[in-house]
Amino acid sequence: MLTATAKNVRTTLEMIKIEHTLFALPFAFLGAVLAAGGLPTGQQLIWITLAMVGARSCAMAFNRIADREIDARNPRTKERAIPSGALSVSFVWAFTILSAAVFFIAAAMLNRLTLMLAPVALASILLYSYTKRWTMLSHLVLGWCLSIAPAGAWIAVRGSLDSPVPLLLSLVVMLWTAGFDVLYACQDYDFDRRAGLHSIPQELGIARSLWISRLFHAQAFATLVALYLVTHLGALALVGVVLTGALLVYQHTLVRADDLRRLNAAFFTTNAFVSVILFATFGGAVLFKFI
Determine phi and psi for 42, rounding to 5 degrees: -60, -40
Neighbours of 270 (CB within 10 A): 24
pTM score? 0.92
89-93, 180-184, 258-262, 266-270: which range is least confident on average? 266-270
Distance set, CA 155 to CA 10, 107, 143, 247, 283 (Å): 33, 10, 19, 29, 17
Gyration radius (Cα) of the chain, Å: 19
Over residues 44-101, the pLDDT tens digits come to 999 999 999 999 999 999 999 999 999 999 988 888 989 999 899 999 999 999 999 9
Which domains, from first to last, does the chain contain? 2-288 (1.10.357.140)
| Model pLDDT, residue 291 | 46
What HEC string does 25-52 produce?
HHHHHHHHHHHHCCCCCHHHHHHHHHHH
Confidence of residue 2 (pLDDT cuts 50, 70, 90): very low
**Would you say 84 and 78 are in contact if contact means Cβ atoms under 8 Å apart?**
yes
Q: pLDDT at position 270, please?
A: 72
Q: What is the pLDDT of residues 124-137, one digit of tens each?
A: 999 999 999 999 99
Average model confidence (pLDDT) for the chain? 91
Per-residue confidence (pLDDT) for residue 4, from 0 to 100:
58
Instruction: Assign 3-class secondary structure to 56-95.
Output: HHHHHHHHHHHCHHHHHHCCCCCCCHHHHCCCCHHHHHHH
Predicted confidence (pLDDT) per residue in 3-33, tens digit: 656 677 788 888 877 767 767 899 999 999 9
